[in-house]
Structure 1
Amino acid sequence: MIDTIDQQLIGALMDDSRLSLKALAGITGLSSPSVGERLRRLEERGVLTHYTVDIDPKHFGYLLQAIVRIRPLPGQLQEVERQIQAIPEFTECDKVTGEDCFIARLHVRTMDHLDSLLDRLNVYAETNTAIVKKTPVKRRLPPLTD
């Protein structure tokens, strides 16, 4: 079970995954060794799976972001999934129910770049693309308590 201290630790790490044990101890009121032990248990239980860095793709020339709905042609589901996994500009992809089988997030440098990547998929699937104008809600956790 996750208690309030675990929730504090997770919340603090979501804000800044580089916080030291000392800083986390200050937030929770525990000692650094106690914080380290709690983090180890959260990792062992699979609650904490990664410590990560958030990077802005624009600094690497990826000026456009698109959401792509993908509907494989008959018999092409596995090939479409392989193609999506092989194209590194796809930064997220969910396999979903409904008319489309995949909804993916794609980062590209230009519209021509977008077209060239979608052309690789269009042999195997129909796509519907929307350019992201703004992200009012960044990826976040759902509430950790009831």
Structure 2
Amino acid sequence: MLDETDRALLTLLTANARMPLKELAGRVGLSSPSVSERLRRLEERGVIRAFTADIDPARLGYTLQAIVRIRPLPGRLHLVQKLIEEIPEITECDKVTGDDCFIARLMLRDISHLDRILDGIADKAETSTSIVKAQPVLRRLPPLG
């Protein structure tokens, strides 16, 4: 379980994963060594998986995002999953229940970029695509309480 200090640390790190240890310690009212130990334990328990950078895809030329629902053709599930794992423009993918097996988020330069990617899986799966207009909720932590 998480205590109040762990929750505070996770909230602070989610906002800025590069926050200096000394500043983290000051914000939660502990010494730097105590905060360091707590972070180490959170990592060991798998609560913290990584410290990452939040990069804006549009600044890298990816001006379009799409959500693609993917339904492999019979007998092609493992082949399609391997293909999905190898497409670098797929930045997130969930294997789901229901009619579709996978729901993927793609970062794209334009519509023709989407066509090229989908053409590569068309003989192995059916797809249904939605273009992302906006992201009113960016990736965030679930409630920590």
TM-score when scaled to structure 2?
0.98
Aligned to 1:115: 115
Aligned to 1:63: 63
Aligned to 1:44: 44
Offset at residue 18 of structure 1 (A): 0.2
Aligned to 1:139: 139
CA distance in 2, matches of 1:66, 1:38: 38
Q: Does 1:104 align with 2:104?
A: yes
Offset at residue 16 of structure 1 (A): 0.3
Aligned residue identity for 2:11:
G
Aligned to 2:91: 91
Aligned residue identity for 1:116:
R
Offset at residue 136 of structure 1 (A): 0.2
CA distance in 1, matches of 2:53, 2:134: 21
Offset at residue 141 of structure 1 (A): 1.2
Question: Residue 120 of structure 2: SS of its match in structure 1?
Answer: helix
Offset at residue 60 of structure 1 (A): 1.1
Aligned length: 145
CA distance in 1, matches of 2:75, 2:135: 34
Question: Residue 9 of structure 1: SS of its match in structure 2?
Answer: helix
Offset at residue 78 of structure 1 (A): 0.5
Offset at residue 59 of structure 1 (A): 1.1
Question: How big is each residue's C-alpha offset from its partner over 1:35-92, in whole Å with a ceiling of 9 and x where there is no partner?
Answer: 0011011111111110000001111111100000000000000011011111100000
Aligned to 1:28: 28
Question: Residue 142 of structure 1: SS of its match in structure 2?
Answer: coil
Question: Residue 121 of structure 1: SS of its match in structure 2?
Answer: coil
Aligned residue identity for 1:140:
R
TM-score when scaled to structure 1?
0.98
Q: Sequence identity of aligned pairs in percent?
A: 62
Question: How big is each residue's C-alpha offset from its partner over 1:100-136, in whole Å with a ceiling of 9 and x where there is no partner?
Answer: 0000000110101100000001110000000000000
CA distance in 2, matches of 1:141, 1:39: 17
Q: Which runs of 4+ in 1 moved over 4 A?
A: none
Aligned to 1:8: 8
Unmatched tracts of structure 2, length 5 or more: none
Q: CA RMSD in A?
A: 0.6
CA distance in 1, matches of 2:104, 2:87: 11
Aligned residue identity for 1:16:
N
CA distance in 2, matches of 1:44, 1:93: 25
